A and B are shown apart, each in its own frame.
Chain A
Amino acid sequence: MHALEKILARAAGKAQVRAGEMVTAAVDLAEINDLYLQVIQSFQAMGGKSVWDPDKVVFVFDHYSPPPTPKAADNHRIMREFAAAGGITHLFDINAGVCHQVMPEAGLVRPGMVLVATDSHTTTHGAFGAFATGVGATDLAVALIRGTLWFVVPEVVKIQLTGKLGPGTAAKDVVLGLLQRLRADGAVYKAIEYAGPALADFSIAERMVICNMAVEMGAKTTYIQPDGKVRAYLAERGIKDYPVYTTDPDYEYAEVHEFDVGEVEPLLAAPHSVDNVHPVGDYAGKAVNQAFIGTCTGGRLEDLEMAAKVLRGRKIPPGVRLVITPASKEVFLKAIETGCIQGLVEAGATVTSPGCGPCLGIHQGMLGPGEVCITASSRNFPGRMGSPQAEIYVASPLTVAASALRGRITDPREVLEEGS
């Protein structure tokens, strides 16, 4: 069996499960973000009285942090009241950050667990060896009542990463390269496992980036075999007790792909699809109105540091908006401590409160018709960040920062070679 199958078998109380089988699995953690008051509405429509386990339920107010409209503020109020009435232990309010950063930082994500959240980027937590997947609001409400959900055991696609990242490239370029090869529906209904020597070199932050964007290939979940880096991350948060499952040597993968990360160059996904991937050079010179660094994909300390490396001591041109949204309060505080925030603000950045920022087009940096944005987030769907007539280019934090600096799409190697 695959490690993911062992997790599901344990959660379903079975000795064995196989790909394609439908199982009812116990949920270890259920997270609700502030977009989905529908969870509470469905919970009530189903006659829900109390949640199955208040210690395993998490609310994170990240998309509307702080609330941009009276309606959003009121949705928060109802969620706070629901959480208080149900004795729910974990509620991260508008100052905390985006759920996929906040939950691991708080030590809530552990290897071997079944984690569901009302967000597609829940695949991020495969970086810690969890079975983690996004579900809809009513599904989550079912989990709140029953403590279980049905899943089809997925086939697993293994991606073997070799080589070493070259100058001016980042984990983001690796996952864009994979999207170029596997396409937006390359892993629909399947799990993606990342492995190989390059993966062993990747930091937790880098692993989270490639697991996060696996959902752009349609993946249901991801998996990385927990190693010393994961154990150290958890130990820092006082967590030592968790099962670590391993894949049996005779397990047969649905597909195996090799990918040399050393061959990847700075890439971008051009409008309006995540798999419309090209070398940054193909679009070099295109004027940008906004550059955005943040989100559950590209708003960690490492991402802000990449941007600061490009921008410290320099100035972005007038008329270019550079929006920085730290992924969490912890990231924000560390970035203040390291001087990264100061460097970015001096270069001309606008820093917003931790959370999703302008990623999903509701506030804090929306795009007007005809505007061009380059972003370290994950999606460039039409209308994603505001006007459907805007163009969104998805790239690494290095590329976004270099493009902000020049006011036009720029291969970061050009700027890095100049030195700072």
Chain B
Amino acid sequence: MGKLQGRAFIFKDNVDTDQIYPGRYLELTDPKAIGAHAMEGADPAFAAKVRPGDIIVAGRNFGCGSSREHAVITLKEAGVGAVLALSFGRIFYRNAINLGLPAIRLVDEPKLEEGDLLTIDLEGGTITVSSGDVQSFVPFPPEIREIIQGGGIIPLVKSEQQE
């Protein structure tokens, strides 16, 4: 796993999956169409502003609420490179790992501003902010690192199927 780099988009505590991806779009199945509604319930302009690799930085319990995998698909399709939060709704967390979107649990309140450039070292477990500040995060357990390294669970299970 290498390094990720992107601008920070800051969100508050308890951003639920209805805000990440409103229920009325759940019937959509084309990933491109799903990506157009990223974070619409929290910031309707997000999908237009976000650039590939950008990073969501949130407080506690990001992705609480429903089990919708669309919440991860929409972020990935919109170009989000990683999500940092103090804690995650557990189904969102599982979905992110399964689809290969790094969901990273911060140790401390993030000290950074909207738009700061962040560099994440997945191996070393550090986040460097453009202002020079360095923060650490809870490293992934080996089982989860294996899934993320493989680009998510789909290629992993697929290779098993072909054996």
A interface residues with partner B (beta carbon < 8 Å):
22, 35-38, 41-42, 45-49, 63-64, 69, 71-72, 75, 118-120, 122, 134-139, 142, 145-146, 150, 184-185, 188-189, 218, 220, 273, 360-362, 379, 381-384, 386, 388
Contact = CB atoms under 8 A, between A and B. Distances in A.
A137 B69 contact: yes
Given A42-B154, A185-B61, A382 B24 contact: no
B154 A45 contact: yes
Given A135-B94, A384-B18, A46 B26 contact: no
15 contacts: A42-B154, A46-B154, A47-B158, A48-B161, A71-B27, A136-B91, A137-B69, A138-B99, A145-B157, A188-B88, A188-B90, A218-B64, A360-B26, A381-B19, A383-B18
A10 to B, nearest CB: 21
Contacts of B139: none
Nearest to A187: B90
A381 B29 contact: no
Interface in B1-37: 13-14, 16, 18-19, 22-24, 26-29
A184 B14 contact: yes
A36 B27 CA distance: 8
A46 B95 contact: no
Given A35-B26, A137-B95, A188-B88, 12 more contacts: A47-B161, A48-B161, A118-B67, A120-B67, A134-B91, A135-B91, A136-B94, A142-B157, A361-B18, A362-B24, A381-B65, A382-B41
B44 to A, nearest CB: 9
Contacts of B42: 382
Nearest to B88: A188
A365 B91 CA distance: 28
A46 B69 contact: no
Interface in B131-161: 141, 143, 152-154, 157-158, 161
Contacts of B153: 46, 138-139, 142
